[in-house]
Chain A
Protein backbone atom coordinates (compact mmCIF):
# COMPACT_ATOMS: atom_id res chain seq x y z
CA UNK A 1 0.00 0.00 0.00
CA UNK A 2 1.19 3.48 -0.82
CA UNK A 3 2.43 5.36 2.21
CA UNK A 4 0.04 8.10 3.23
CA UNK A 5 1.50 11.56 2.56
CA UNK A 6 1.74 13.69 5.66
CA UNK A 7 1.50 17.45 5.86
CA UNK A 8 5.20 17.59 6.77
CA UNK A 9 6.14 15.65 3.61
CA UNK A 10 3.97 17.89 1.46
CA UNK A 11 5.50 21.07 2.79
CA UNK A 12 9.07 19.87 2.30
CA UNK A 13 8.21 18.71 -1.24
CA UNK A 14 7.01 22.21 -1.96
CA UNK A 15 10.30 23.63 -0.73
CA UNK A 16 8.82 25.27 2.34
CA UNK A 17 11.52 25.94 4.94
CA UNK A 18 11.41 24.80 8.53
CA UNK A 19 11.11 28.42 9.65
CA UNK A 20 7.98 28.88 7.52
CA UNK A 21 6.62 25.68 8.99
CA UNK A 22 7.24 27.00 12.52
CA UNK A 23 5.47 30.23 11.60
CA UNK A 24 2.50 28.25 10.28
CA UNK A 25 2.43 26.24 13.48
CA UNK A 26 2.34 29.46 15.51
CA UNK A 27 -0.56 30.75 13.40
CA UNK A 28 -2.36 27.40 13.62
CA UNK A 29 -1.97 27.29 17.39
CA UNK A 30 -3.38 30.80 17.67
CA UNK A 31 -6.26 29.88 15.32
CA UNK A 32 -7.04 26.84 17.46
CA UNK A 33 -7.20 29.14 20.50
CA UNK A 34 -4.52 27.06 22.20
CA UNK A 35 -1.88 28.71 24.41
CA UNK A 36 1.49 29.50 22.75
CA UNK A 37 3.14 26.86 24.96
CA UNK A 38 1.40 24.29 22.74
CA UNK A 39 3.25 25.40 19.58
CA UNK A 40 5.95 22.67 19.79
CA UNK A 41 3.26 19.99 20.25
CA UNK A 42 1.32 21.35 17.31
CA UNK A 43 4.52 21.29 15.23
CA UNK A 44 5.20 17.65 16.12
CA UNK A 45 1.61 16.66 15.37
CA UNK A 46 1.30 18.61 12.10
CA UNK A 47 4.48 17.04 10.75
CA UNK A 48 2.87 13.64 10.97
CA UNK A 49 -0.69 14.70 10.12
CA UNK A 50 -2.26 12.64 7.35
CA UNK A 51 -4.35 14.28 4.63
CA UNK A 52 -7.95 13.48 5.53
CA UNK A 53 -10.82 13.34 3.07
CA UNK A 54 -13.61 15.80 3.75
CA UNK A 55 -17.18 15.65 2.48
CA UNK A 56 -19.16 18.85 2.94
CA UNK A 57 -22.97 18.60 2.68
CA UNK A 58 -25.21 21.65 2.47
CA UNK A 59 -28.81 21.22 3.55
CA UNK A 60 -31.48 23.74 4.53
CA UNK A 61 -29.28 26.82 4.80
CA UNK A 62 -28.49 30.20 3.26
CA UNK A 63 -24.84 29.47 2.29
CA UNK A 64 -23.77 32.14 4.80
CA UNK A 65 -21.61 29.58 6.62
CA UNK A 66 -19.74 28.69 3.43
CA UNK A 67 -19.37 32.40 2.62
CA UNK A 68 -17.86 32.85 6.06
CA UNK A 69 -15.56 29.85 5.68
CA UNK A 70 -14.22 30.94 2.30
CA UNK A 71 -13.53 34.40 3.73
CA UNK A 72 -11.41 33.00 6.49
CA UNK A 73 -8.92 35.83 5.98
CA UNK A 74 -6.51 33.43 4.40
CA UNK A 75 -3.83 33.28 6.97
CA UNK A 76 -1.65 31.14 4.77
CA UNK A 77 -2.62 28.52 7.32
CA UNK A 78 -6.03 28.06 5.80
CA UNK A 79 -4.59 27.84 2.32
CA UNK A 80 -2.39 25.09 3.58
CA UNK A 81 -5.12 23.38 5.48
CA UNK A 82 -7.19 23.38 2.36
CA UNK A 83 -4.28 22.19 0.30
CA UNK A 84 -3.79 19.63 2.99
CA UNK A 85 -7.24 18.23 3.30
CA UNK A 86 -8.94 16.60 0.37
CA UNK A 87 -12.27 18.37 -0.07
CA UNK A 88 -13.95 15.64 -2.08
CA UNK A 89 -17.48 16.99 -2.18
CA UNK A 90 -18.91 20.47 -1.73
CA UNK A 91 -21.74 21.12 -4.15
CA UNK A 92 -21.26 24.90 -4.25
CA UNK A 93 -17.49 24.95 -4.68
CA UNK A 94 -16.77 21.86 -6.74
CA UNK A 95 -16.30 22.04 -10.49
CA UNK A 96 -18.21 18.82 -11.15
CA UNK A 97 -21.99 18.88 -11.24
CA UNK A 98 -24.89 16.45 -11.54
CA UNK A 99 -24.07 12.74 -11.59
CA UNK A 100 -20.31 13.44 -11.78
CA UNK A 101 -20.50 15.33 -8.48
CA UNK A 102 -22.46 12.57 -6.76
CA UNK A 103 -20.00 10.04 -8.19
CA UNK A 104 -17.11 11.98 -6.61
CA UNK A 105 -18.85 11.75 -3.24
CA UNK A 106 -19.49 8.03 -3.62
CA UNK A 107 -15.88 7.38 -4.64
CA UNK A 108 -14.53 9.29 -1.65
CA UNK A 109 -16.94 7.48 0.66
CA UNK A 110 -15.87 4.08 -0.62
CA UNK A 111 -12.16 4.86 -0.55
CA UNK A 112 -12.08 6.41 2.94
CA UNK A 113 -15.00 4.61 4.56
CA UNK A 114 -14.91 5.08 8.33
CA UNK A 115 -12.16 7.70 8.05
CA UNK A 116 -13.51 10.77 6.28
CA UNK A 117 -14.67 13.90 8.04
CA UNK A 118 -18.24 14.98 7.31
CA UNK A 119 -19.09 18.67 7.47
CA UNK A 120 -22.79 19.51 7.52
CA UNK A 121 -24.16 22.99 7.10
CA UNK A 122 -27.89 23.66 7.40
CA UNK A 123 -30.74 22.02 9.26
CA UNK A 124 -32.55 18.95 8.01
CA UNK A 125 -36.29 19.18 7.27
CA UNK A 126 -38.12 16.05 8.42
CA UNK A 127 -41.77 16.97 7.89
CA UNK A 128 -43.68 15.18 5.10
CA UNK A 129 -40.86 12.65 4.68
CA UNK A 130 -38.28 15.39 4.23
CA UNK A 131 -39.50 16.63 0.85
CA UNK A 132 -38.75 20.28 1.63
CA UNK A 133 -35.07 19.97 0.81
CA UNK A 134 -33.71 17.49 -1.68
CA UNK A 135 -30.54 17.18 -3.73
CA UNK A 136 -29.91 14.82 -6.63
CA UNK A 137 -33.45 13.52 -6.11
CA UNK A 138 -32.82 12.44 -2.51
CA UNK A 139 -34.00 14.00 0.70
CA UNK A 140 -31.48 15.56 3.06
CA UNK A 141 -32.47 13.00 5.71
CA UNK A 142 -31.45 10.10 3.44
CA UNK A 143 -28.23 11.74 2.28
CA UNK A 144 -27.17 12.65 5.82
CA UNK A 145 -27.81 9.17 7.19
CA UNK A 146 -25.96 7.50 4.32
CA UNK A 147 -22.90 9.75 4.40
CA UNK A 148 -22.70 9.94 8.21
CA UNK A 149 -22.61 6.14 8.43
CA UNK A 150 -19.07 6.05 7.02
CA UNK A 151 -17.76 9.21 8.68
CA UNK A 152 -15.17 9.28 11.47
CA UNK A 153 -16.83 12.39 12.90
CA UNK A 154 -19.38 15.01 11.94
CA UNK A 155 -18.78 18.75 12.14
CA UNK A 156 -22.08 20.65 12.28
CA UNK A 157 -21.15 24.07 10.92
CA UNK A 158 -23.49 26.92 11.81
CA UNK A 159 -26.42 27.28 14.16
CA UNK A 160 -28.83 25.54 11.73
CA UNK A 161 -26.80 22.33 11.67
CA UNK A 162 -25.95 22.63 15.38
CA UNK A 163 -29.28 23.62 16.91
CA UNK A 164 -31.78 24.01 14.05
CA UNK A 165 -31.23 27.74 13.65
CA UNK A 166 -33.61 29.91 11.66
CA UNK A 167 -35.49 27.09 9.85
CA UNK A 168 -36.13 25.59 13.32
CA UNK A 169 -37.59 28.87 14.63
CA UNK A 170 -41.25 28.99 15.47
CA UNK A 171 -43.40 27.86 13.66
CA UNK A 172 -40.78 25.61 11.95
CA UNK A 173 -42.86 24.87 8.83
CA UNK A 174 -40.50 22.20 7.47
CA UNK A 175 -40.02 20.26 10.71
CA UNK A 176 -36.33 21.19 10.65
CA UNK A 177 -33.99 19.45 13.11
CA UNK A 178 -30.26 19.74 13.88
CA UNK A 179 -27.78 17.01 12.93
CA UNK A 180 -27.67 15.71 16.51
CA UNK A 181 -31.39 14.82 16.33
CA UNK A 182 -30.75 12.35 13.50
CA UNK A 183 -27.21 11.10 14.04
CA UNK A 184 -26.71 9.35 17.37
CA UNK A 185 -23.72 7.06 16.82
CA UNK A 186 -20.97 9.45 15.68
CA UNK A 187 -19.00 12.15 17.47
CA UNK A 188 -20.55 15.50 16.53
CA UNK A 189 -18.78 18.85 16.87
CA UNK A 190 -21.18 21.79 16.88
CA UNK A 191 -19.56 24.90 15.43
CA UNK A 192 -22.46 27.27 16.00
CA UNK A 193 -22.90 30.88 14.95
CA UNK A 194 -24.94 32.59 12.29
CA UNK A 195 -22.51 32.34 10.62
CA UNK A 196 -19.64 30.93 12.71
CA UNK A 197 -16.42 32.97 12.80
CA UNK A 198 -14.30 31.89 9.79
CA UNK A 199 -11.19 31.22 11.86
CA UNK A 200 -13.24 29.16 14.31
CA UNK A 201 -14.40 26.86 11.50
CA UNK A 202 -10.88 26.43 10.15
CA UNK A 203 -9.51 26.23 13.70
CA UNK A 204 -11.72 23.21 14.40
CA UNK A 205 -10.68 21.58 11.11
CA UNK A 206 -7.05 22.36 11.96
CA UNK A 207 -7.49 20.70 15.35
CA UNK A 208 -8.83 17.55 13.75
CA UNK A 209 -6.09 17.60 11.13
CA UNK A 210 -3.38 18.23 13.72
CA UNK A 211 -4.32 15.84 16.48
CA UNK A 212 -6.56 13.42 14.59
CA UNK A 213 -9.20 13.72 17.29
CA UNK A 214 -12.05 16.03 18.10
CA UNK A 215 -11.34 18.91 20.50
CA UNK A 216 -12.75 19.16 24.03
CA UNK A 217 -16.43 20.10 23.81
CA UNK A 218 -18.77 22.07 26.05
CA UNK A 219 -22.19 20.86 27.24
CA UNK A 220 -23.74 21.80 23.89
CA UNK A 221 -21.13 19.93 21.88
CA UNK A 222 -19.19 23.05 20.92
CA UNK A 223 -15.35 23.24 21.04
CA UNK A 224 -14.56 24.60 24.50
CA UNK A 225 -11.55 26.52 23.21
CA UNK A 226 -13.82 28.88 21.27
CA UNK A 227 -17.12 28.63 23.14
CA UNK A 228 -15.80 28.24 26.67
CA UNK A 229 -16.40 31.80 27.77
CA UNK A 230 -19.30 34.17 27.35
CA UNK A 231 -19.11 37.22 25.10
CA UNK A 232 -19.82 39.28 28.21
CA UNK A 233 -16.85 37.89 30.14
CA UNK A 234 -14.45 38.70 27.30
CA UNK A 235 -16.13 41.94 26.19
CA UNK A 236 -13.94 45.03 26.14
CA UNK A 237 -17.05 46.99 27.27
CA UNK A 238 -17.30 44.87 30.42
CA UNK A 239 -15.75 47.60 32.65
CA UNK A 240 -18.73 49.83 31.75
CA UNK A 241 -21.15 47.12 32.82
CA UNK A 242 -19.30 46.79 36.11
CA UNK A 243 -19.47 50.57 36.56
CA UNK A 244 -23.20 50.64 35.75
CA UNK A 245 -22.71 52.74 32.60
CA UNK A 246 -25.26 51.76 29.98
CA UNK A 247 -26.31 53.08 26.58
CA UNK A 248 -30.07 53.65 26.80
CA UNK A 249 -30.67 54.20 23.10
CA UNK A 250 -28.62 53.93 19.93
CA UNK A 251 -27.98 57.65 19.69
CA UNK A 252 -27.45 58.84 23.25
CA UNK A 253 -24.19 59.86 24.88
CA UNK A 254 -23.77 56.40 26.37
CA UNK A 255 -23.87 54.83 22.90
CA UNK A 256 -21.45 57.43 21.56
CA UNK A 257 -19.04 56.82 24.41
CA UNK A 258 -19.12 53.09 23.85
CA UNK A 259 -20.86 52.10 27.09
CA UNK A 260 -22.36 48.70 27.77
CA UNK A 261 -25.24 47.66 25.46
CA UNK A 262 -26.95 45.38 27.99
CA UNK A 263 -30.08 47.54 28.24
CA UNK A 264 -30.37 47.63 24.44
CA UNK A 265 -30.81 43.87 24.45
CA UNK A 266 -27.24 42.58 24.34
CA UNK A 267 -27.22 38.78 24.73
CA UNK A 268 -23.49 38.77 25.56
CA UNK A 269 -24.00 37.41 29.10
CA UNK A 270 -25.76 34.24 27.86
CA UNK A 271 -23.85 33.80 24.60
CA UNK A 272 -20.73 31.69 24.22
CA UNK A 273 -18.53 32.46 21.25
CA UNK A 274 -15.12 33.89 20.34
CA UNK A 275 -16.33 37.17 18.75
CA UNK A 276 -14.98 39.36 21.56
CA UNK A 277 -11.40 38.20 21.06
CA UNK A 278 -11.11 36.68 17.57
CA UNK A 279 -13.43 39.32 16.07
CA UNK A 280 -14.48 39.49 12.40
CA UNK A 281 -13.02 40.55 9.06
CA UNK A 282 -9.52 39.62 10.04
CA UNK A 283 -9.76 41.02 13.54
CA UNK A 284 -11.23 44.40 12.57
CA UNK A 285 -14.31 44.48 14.80
CA UNK A 286 -17.30 42.55 16.11
CA UNK A 287 -20.96 43.57 16.54
CA UNK A 288 -20.56 45.10 20.00
CA UNK A 289 -17.49 47.06 18.91
CA UNK A 290 -19.60 48.36 16.01
CA UNK A 291 -22.22 49.56 18.50
CA UNK A 292 -24.80 46.78 18.15
CA UNK A 293 -25.86 44.39 20.90
CA UNK A 294 -24.97 40.72 20.55
CA UNK A 295 -27.92 38.71 19.12
CA UNK A 296 -26.80 35.47 20.70
CA UNK A 297 -26.59 33.76 17.30
CA UNK A 298 -24.43 30.88 18.53
CA UNK A 299 -26.97 29.73 21.13
CA UNK A 300 -29.93 27.37 20.63
CA UNK A 301 -33.23 29.10 19.80
CA UNK A 302 -31.66 32.55 19.49
CA UNK A 303 -34.35 33.50 17.01
CA UNK A 304 -37.15 32.77 19.48
CA UNK A 305 -35.34 34.19 22.48
CA UNK A 306 -37.78 37.01 23.17
CA UNK A 307 -36.58 39.87 20.96
CA UNK A 308 -33.17 41.15 19.92
CA UNK A 309 -33.63 44.56 21.55
CA UNK A 310 -35.20 43.47 24.79
CA UNK A 311 -32.78 43.45 27.71
CA UNK A 312 -32.05 40.02 29.17
CA UNK A 313 -33.37 41.24 32.50
CA UNK A 314 -36.76 41.92 30.89
CA UNK A 315 -36.98 38.87 28.71
CA UNK A 316 -39.71 36.48 29.70
CA UNK A 317 -37.74 33.54 28.31
CA UNK A 318 -34.02 34.17 28.58
CA UNK A 319 -31.77 32.60 25.98
CA UNK A 320 -29.87 30.87 28.78
CA UNK A 321 -32.95 28.90 29.72
CA UNK A 322 -33.16 27.48 26.20
CA UNK A 323 -29.52 26.53 26.33
CA UNK A 324 -30.14 24.67 29.58
CA UNK A 325 -33.11 22.80 28.14
CA UNK A 326 -31.06 21.71 25.14
CA UNK A 327 -28.24 20.50 27.35
CA UNK A 328 -30.57 18.34 29.41
CA UNK A 329 -32.04 16.93 26.23
CA UNK A 330 -28.54 16.24 24.94
CA UNK A 331 -27.64 14.28 28.04
CA UNK A 332 -30.78 12.17 27.94
CA UNK A 333 -30.44 11.65 24.18
CA UNK A 334 -32.78 9.62 21.98
CA UNK A 335 -36.45 9.88 22.78
CA UNK A 336 -35.90 12.65 25.31
CA UNK A 337 -34.52 14.81 22.53
CA UNK A 338 -37.80 14.61 20.62
CA UNK A 339 -39.82 15.35 23.73
CA UNK A 340 -37.60 18.30 24.67
CA UNK A 341 -37.83 19.53 21.09
CA UNK A 342 -41.61 19.50 21.29
CA UNK A 343 -41.53 21.21 24.67
CA UNK A 344 -39.19 23.87 23.35
CA UNK A 345 -41.34 24.37 20.31
CA UNK A 346 -44.47 24.66 22.43
CA UNK A 347 -42.74 27.10 24.75
CA UNK A 348 -41.44 29.12 21.80
CA UNK A 349 -44.97 29.30 20.47
CA UNK A 350 -46.24 30.64 23.78
CA UNK A 351 -43.45 33.22 23.85
CA UNK A 352 -43.96 34.34 20.28
CA UNK A 353 -45.12 37.94 20.18
CA UNK A 354 -46.72 39.38 17.11
CA UNK A 355 -45.63 42.99 16.79
CA UNK A 356 -47.79 45.31 14.74
CA UNK A 357 -46.63 48.45 12.96
CA UNK A 358 -48.75 50.51 15.37
CA UNK A 359 -46.94 49.03 18.35
CA UNK A 360 -43.57 49.79 16.82
CA UNK A 361 -44.60 53.42 16.22
CA UNK A 362 -45.79 53.65 19.79
CA UNK A 363 -42.53 52.17 21.07
CA UNK A 364 -40.55 54.62 18.95
CA UNK A 365 -42.40 57.52 20.55
CA UNK A 366 -41.81 56.14 24.03
CA UNK A 367 -38.11 55.86 23.23
CA UNK A 368 -37.96 59.51 22.20
CA UNK A 369 -39.71 60.88 25.27
Chain B
Protein backbone atom coordinates (compact mmCIF):
# COMPACT_ATOMS: atom_id res chain seq x y z
CA UNK B 1 0.00 0.00 0.00
CA UNK B 2 1.25 3.44 -0.79
CA UNK B 3 1.90 5.66 2.19
CA UNK B 4 0.55 9.14 2.73
CA UNK B 5 3.99 10.51 1.97
CA UNK B 6 3.63 9.31 -1.63
CA UNK B 7 0.83 11.76 -2.31
CA UNK B 8 2.43 14.86 -3.73
CA UNK B 9 1.20 17.99 -2.04
CA UNK B 10 1.93 21.43 -3.40
CA UNK B 11 1.85 24.23 -0.90
CA UNK B 12 1.10 27.57 -2.43
CA UNK B 13 2.71 30.39 -0.50
CA UNK B 14 0.46 33.43 -0.59
CA UNK B 15 2.22 35.92 -2.84
CA UNK B 16 2.22 38.95 -0.59
CA UNK B 17 3.44 39.54 2.90
CA UNK B 18 4.70 36.03 3.67
CA UNK B 19 6.33 37.35 6.86
CA UNK B 20 2.90 37.60 8.51
CA UNK B 21 2.52 33.86 8.15
CA UNK B 22 5.76 33.08 9.92
CA UNK B 23 4.50 34.81 13.03
CA UNK B 24 3.89 31.37 14.51
CA UNK B 25 7.60 30.60 14.29
CA UNK B 26 8.62 34.00 15.63
CA UNK B 27 6.32 33.54 18.62
CA UNK B 28 7.83 30.14 19.44
CA UNK B 29 11.36 31.51 19.12
CA UNK B 30 10.50 34.32 21.54
CA UNK B 31 9.16 31.76 24.02
CA UNK B 32 12.37 29.72 23.70
CA UNK B 33 14.43 32.89 24.20
CA UNK B 34 12.63 33.55 27.47
CA UNK B 35 13.06 29.95 28.65
CA UNK B 36 16.78 29.90 27.86
CA UNK B 37 17.29 33.17 29.73
CA UNK B 38 15.43 31.70 32.74
CA UNK B 39 17.56 28.53 32.58
CA UNK B 40 20.75 30.58 32.77
CA UNK B 41 19.52 32.86 35.55
CA UNK B 42 17.54 30.50 37.80
CA UNK B 43 18.33 27.02 36.49
CA UNK B 44 14.66 26.34 35.86
CA UNK B 45 14.06 24.20 32.78
CA UNK B 46 11.30 24.67 30.22
CA UNK B 47 9.54 22.73 27.49
CA UNK B 48 7.14 23.32 24.61
CA UNK B 49 4.79 20.66 23.25
CA UNK B 50 5.09 21.15 19.49
CA UNK B 51 1.88 19.23 18.85
CA UNK B 52 -0.12 21.73 20.88
CA UNK B 53 0.66 24.59 18.50
CA UNK B 54 -1.29 25.58 15.40
CA UNK B 55 1.15 25.24 12.54
CA UNK B 56 0.82 26.67 9.08
CA UNK B 57 2.16 24.37 6.35
CA UNK B 58 5.85 25.21 6.25
CA UNK B 59 6.00 26.49 9.85
CA UNK B 60 7.45 23.23 11.15
CA UNK B 61 10.27 23.23 8.61
CA UNK B 62 10.88 26.93 9.20
CA UNK B 63 11.18 26.31 12.95
CA UNK B 64 13.63 23.44 12.39
CA UNK B 65 15.66 25.61 10.06
CA UNK B 66 15.66 28.54 12.48
CA UNK B 67 16.97 26.41 15.35
CA UNK B 68 19.47 24.44 13.25
CA UNK B 69 21.52 21.38 14.20
CA UNK B 70 23.81 21.33 17.21
CA UNK B 71 26.70 19.24 18.42
CA UNK B 72 24.89 16.39 20.18
CA UNK B 73 22.38 13.87 18.92
CA UNK B 74 21.30 10.63 20.57
CA UNK B 75 18.79 7.90 19.91
CA UNK B 76 17.01 5.95 22.60
CA UNK B 77 15.08 2.75 21.96
CA UNK B 78 13.43 1.01 24.87
CA UNK B 79 11.41 -1.31 22.65
CA UNK B 80 8.38 0.90 22.06
CA UNK B 81 9.72 2.84 19.08
CA UNK B 82 12.76 5.12 19.11
CA UNK B 83 13.14 8.60 20.53
CA UNK B 84 15.56 11.05 18.96
CA UNK B 85 17.11 13.69 21.20
CA UNK B 86 19.17 16.38 19.44
CA UNK B 87 20.62 19.62 20.63
CA UNK B 88 19.85 22.46 18.25
CA UNK B 89 22.42 25.02 17.14
CA UNK B 90 21.32 26.99 20.21
CA UNK B 91 23.04 25.20 23.14
CA UNK B 92 20.53 24.29 25.86
CA UNK B 93 17.69 24.03 23.36
CA UNK B 94 16.90 20.40 22.53
CA UNK B 95 14.54 18.89 19.99
CA UNK B 96 12.99 15.68 21.35
CA UNK B 97 10.92 13.45 19.05
CA UNK B 98 9.20 10.33 20.37
CA UNK B 99 8.21 7.75 17.75
CA UNK B 100 5.84 4.83 18.26
CA UNK B 101 6.15 1.25 16.99
CA UNK B 102 4.88 2.27 13.56
CA UNK B 103 7.48 5.03 13.16
CA UNK B 104 4.83 7.72 13.58
CA UNK B 105 5.55 10.69 15.79
CA UNK B 106 3.74 10.09 19.09
CA UNK B 107 4.88 13.31 20.76
CA UNK B 108 7.38 16.04 20.08
CA UNK B 109 8.88 18.63 22.41
CA UNK B 110 11.38 21.43 22.44
CA UNK B 111 13.17 21.17 25.78
CA UNK B 112 15.20 24.00 27.24
CA UNK B 113 17.56 22.27 29.65
CA UNK B 114 21.22 21.36 30.19
CA UNK B 115 20.38 17.75 29.39
CA UNK B 116 16.99 16.13 28.69
CA UNK B 117 15.95 13.74 31.43
CA UNK B 118 15.54 10.93 28.91
CA UNK B 119 19.33 10.82 28.49
CA UNK B 120 20.07 10.59 32.22
CA UNK B 121 20.50 7.13 33.72
CA UNK B 122 17.62 6.44 36.09
CA UNK B 123 18.04 5.15 39.66
CA UNK B 124 15.61 2.23 39.18
CA UNK B 125 17.45 1.08 36.06
CA UNK B 126 20.85 1.50 37.71
CA UNK B 127 19.70 -0.63 40.67
CA UNK B 128 18.50 -3.37 38.30
CA UNK B 129 21.79 -3.15 36.39
CA UNK B 130 23.77 -3.38 39.62
CA UNK B 131 21.88 -6.57 40.57
CA UNK B 132 22.67 -8.11 37.18
CA UNK B 133 26.33 -7.15 37.48
CA UNK B 134 26.61 -8.62 40.99
CA UNK B 135 24.96 -11.87 39.90
CA UNK B 136 27.43 -12.16 37.05
CA UNK B 137 30.37 -11.58 39.39
CA UNK B 138 29.08 -14.23 41.81
CA UNK B 139 28.67 -16.72 38.97
CA UNK B 140 32.14 -15.91 37.70
CA UNK B 141 33.65 -16.64 41.12
CA UNK B 142 32.15 -20.13 41.17
CA UNK B 143 33.90 -21.13 37.95
Interface-lining segment among A62-70, A273-281, A327-335, A339-347 = A273-281
CB neighbours (8 Å) of B141 from chain A are none
CB neighbours (8 Å) of A73 from chain B are 100, 102, 104, 106
Q: How large is the interface on A (under 10, 10 to 19, 20 to 34, 35 or more residues)?
A: 35 or more
**Smallest Cβ distance from B80 to chain A, in angstroms?**
4
**Smallest Cβ distance from B14 to chain A, in angstroms?**
5
Question: Contacts A35-B49, A236-B55 hold; do A282 and B79 have CB atoms under 8 A apart?
Answer: no
**Is B125 on the interface with A (CB-CB < 8 A)?**
yes
Interface string of A184-209 (1 = CB under 8 A from B): 00000000000000000000000000
Interface-lining segment among A24-32, A86-94, A311-319, A359-367 = A24-32
* Cβ-defined contact, A27 with B98, below 8 A: yes
Please, how many residues of chain B have a CB less than 8 angstroms from a CB on the other chain?
44
Among B12, B47, B51, B78, which residue has its beta carbon within 8 angstroms of that of A19?
Answer: B78
CB neighbours (8 Å) of A282 from chain B are 104-105
* Cβ-defined contact, B76 with A19, below 8 A: yes
**Is A75 on the interface with B (CB-CB < 8 A)?**
yes
* Cβ-defined contact, A74 with B79, below 8 A: no
Q: Tell me the interface secondary structure of chain B in the complex.
A: mixed
Question: Contacts A22-B118, A76-B80, A283-B105 hold; do A276 and B54 have CB atoms under 8 A apart?
Answer: yes
* Cβ-defined contact, A26 with B122, below 8 A: no
CB neighbours (8 Å) of B105 from chain A are 282-283
**Is A257 on the interface with B (CB-CB < 8 A)?**
yes
* Cβ-defined contact, B122 with A22, below 8 A: yes
Interface string of A280-313 (1 = CB under 8 A from B): 0111100001000000000000000000000000
* Cβ-defined contact, B78 with A30, below 8 A: no
Q: What is the CA–CA distance of A289 and B54 in the complex, to the nearest angstrom?
A: 11
**Smallest Cβ distance from A325 to chain B, in angstroms?**
29
* Cβ-defined contact, A281 with B54, below 8 A: no
* Cβ-defined contact, A239 with B20, below 8 A: yes
Among A18, A26, A234, A257, which residue has its beta carbon within 8 angstroms of that of B14?
Answer: A257
Most buried by B among A23, A73, A283: A23
Query: Smallest CB-CB separation from A8: which chain B residue?
Result: B124
Q: What is the CA–CA distance of A12 and B123 in the complex, to the nearest angstrom?
A: 13
Among B52, B78, B106, which residue has its beta carbon within 8 angstroms of that of A17?
Answer: B78
* Cβ-defined contact, B80 with A24, below 8 A: yes
**Smallest Cβ distance from B100 to chain A, in angstroms?**
5
* Cβ-defined contact, B101 with A17, below 8 A: no
* Cβ-defined contact, B118 with A239, below 8 A: no
Question: Contacts A30-B107, A36-B49 hold; do A23 and B76 have CB atoms under 8 A apart?
Answer: yes
Question: Contacts A36-B109, A236-B56 hold; do A23 and B51 have CB atoms under 8 A apart?
Answer: no
* Cβ-defined contact, A33 with B78, below 8 A: no
**Is A243 on the interface with B (CB-CB < 8 A)?**
yes
- B binding-site residues for A, Cβ under 8 Å: 4, 11-12, 14, 20-21, 23-24, 46-49, 51-57, 59, 76, 78-81, 83, 96, 98, 100-102, 104-109, 111, 117-118, 122-125
20 contacts between A and B (CB under 8 A): A19-B122, A19-B125, A24-B80, A26-B107, A26-B118, A27-B98, A27-B107, A31-B107, A36-B48, A73-B104, A73-B106, A74-B102, A75-B104, A76-B81, A76-B106, A236-B55, A239-B20, A240-B14, A277-B52, A283-B105
Known pairs A29-B49, A33-B52, A289-B57 / 16 extra A-B pairs, C-beta < 8 Å: A16-B78, A16-B80, A18-B124, A19-B76, A23-B76, A23-B83, A27-B106, A36-B111, A73-B102, A75-B104, A77-B106, A236-B54, A258-B12, A258-B57, A276-B54, A283-B105
